Amino acid sequence: MHTKSLTELSQGLRNREFSSVELTQHFLDRIKRYDGQLNSFITVTEEVALAQAKAADELLQAGNPSSPLTGIPLAHKDIFCTNGIKTSCGSKMLDNFVAPYDAHVVSKGQAAGLVMLGKTNMDEFAMGSSNETSYFGAVKNPWDVQAVPGGSSGGSAAAVAARLAPMATGTDTGGSIRQPAALCGITGLKPTYGLVSRFGMIAFASSLDQGGPMAASAEDAALMLNAMVGFDPRDSTSLEREAEDYTAQLNNSIEGLKIGVPSAFFSEGLDPRVAAVVEAAIKEYEAAGATVQDVTLPNNHLSVPAYYIIAPAECSSNLARYDGVRFGYRCDKPKDLIDLYKRSRAEGFGSEVKRRIMVGTYALSAGYYDAYYLKAQQIRRLISEDFKQAFSEVDVIMGPVSPTPAFNLGEKTDDPVTMYLSDIYTISINLAGVPAMSIPAGFVDNRPVGLQLIGNYFSEAKLLNIAHQYQQRTDWHAKVPAAFA
C-alpha cells in the first residue's frame, strides 16, 4: 500500500479494498520498523491516528467523504501547532510545549478527512539546510543514511521518501521545502507567499515563511495543495482568492511552453554532475515541445547576503517571546528576572538559532538599521523586479535546486557560510514571494537530484501541470530507496 499514489489510495478506500484503519496501521507499522534508522519523527500520534482513521471509515461507509483525501494519512512538520499534542519546532525551548489550538493547515487537513500519523523532525525553529540543528538529533537521508536529508523540512522529506507517510507538510523560508525534496528524491512545492495561512505555524521570518505540500509526485502535491489553501482572517498576510482546483490542469499539453534558463544558476559552485542531470531534464521538456531561452536575473547574486540580513532580523524579533516566563523552557532556580531571561534563552536555544538572533539584533540596532536591514529590503525589491521582467518573456524558469547532491552528515556543520550557500538557488524565490517547486530528475552517486521549476505569482496550477507532464515521461518520482521498499 505504501507505494500507491494518493489517487490510488483514494480509489482503494472507496472501493473497500482496504479501510482507513488498515491503511493507517500499515504506515504506523512502517514507522515503528524503519524510523529508528532515519529519526524522521519527533512524535508519533498512534492513538489519534487510529481514532481519526475510524472516523474517516465511517464517513466513507456512509458515502459521505469530506474530500478525495478522506482517510489517507499524512505527517505534519513539527512547526505546525496541534491541539493537545507537543509542538517542539525541533527545539529544547519548546520540548514541553503542548499547543492549545490547531494551526490553520492542521484544521484544513482535519476538515478534509486526513489522518495525522505524527510530527516530523526539523532544524531548530526551521533554521538550517541539513536537519542537523534539531534538538532531537539529525535526520538521515533514506537513500544513504550517511547523508543529510536537507533542511529544514528534512523529517517530512525523509518520511515521504522512505514511504513512512504518503504525504507531509513542510515550510519554506529560504528553500526548506524544495531543498530537502531535491535531496530526498520527492516532489515539494512552495506556494505564492500568502496562499497558505501561517496561523499556528511557529514563526521564523514572517515575510518569508510559507507552508506547502511534500509528496511523491506532482499529482499528489496538487491534491494536497487543494486541502491546504484557503483564506484565513487570523493571518493578516493570508490572501483572499477564489478557490482553485490544482488538479484541473495537470494533463494540459506543454507544447510551446517557454522555458527560461538563467546563466546565474549554472555558474561557479554548481557541481557539474548536478548540472548534467538538470540539463538532461530540460532536454526532456524540449522533446515534449517546449522551447528554451536564456533569461537574466542580474541581482540573483545578492540574494544570499540580503536573505541573511532579513531572515535573522525577523527571527530575532519573533523569537524574543521565548523568555522563560509564559511558556516553553525555563531554567532552574533563577536568581532574579534578568537571570531567568538570560539562562532560559542560553540553555533553551541551540547554536544556530543563537547565531541568527545575534546577527538579526545587530542588523536592527540603532545606527545599523539603514546600513543593513533597509539596504537588504531594497535589494529584495530589485530581485522581485528581476523575476517580473523574466516572466514577461517566459512561462517558467528552470534550474538546479541545490549546488550539490546530499552531503555527508557533519560535513558542513563547522562552516556556517558554506552551509548557507546550499540555498543559493532557492532564496531569491522567497525574497520575491513567487511559487517554486522541486521534482526528482535523476541521481548522482545514488543520491537524488532535483529540478527546480519557478513560476509567476499564483501559477501553482501551471507549475504542477509542467511537473506532472515531466513525470508522465520519466519515473524518477516513483523510485523508492531499496532499504525501505
Give catalytic residues, as residue numbers: 77, 152, 176
Cell of 184: 530526498
Q: Which residues, other chains included, contact 274 with Cβ-Cβ below 8 Å and sequence gap of 6+? A: 400, 402, 403, 404, 405, 444, 449
Q: How many CB atoms lie within 10 A of CB 169?
A: 29
CA 71, CA 54: separation in Å to the nearest integer? Answer: 8
Supply the DSSP symbol for 411.
S
Task: Decide: 182 and 402 in contact? Cβ < 8 Å.
Answer: yes
Cell of 394: 517566459
Cell of 417: 557560510
CA-wise closest residue to 299 among 411, 384, 211, 414 = 384
Three-state DSSP class for residue 346: helix
Query: Which residues lie across from 147 on neighbouring strands?
Result: 408
Q: Which residues, other chains included, contact 374 with Cβ-Cβ below 8 Å and sequence gap of 6+? A: none
- H-only helix segments in 424-459: 427-432
Q: What angle do CA 90, 304, 314 make, to 5 degrees?
A: 50
Q: What angle do CA 142, 225, 116 make, to 5 degrees?
A: 60
CA-wise closest residue to 140 among 32, 42, 29, 35 = 35
Q: Which helix (H) or strand (E) holds 439?
A: strand 436-444
Report the interhelical angle of 154-161 vs 20-38 (nearest 10°). Answer: 120
Instruction: For the chain, give the longest Cα–Cα distance.
Output: 71
Cell of 362: 545587530
Three-state DSSP class for residue 134: coil
Cell of 87: 509542538
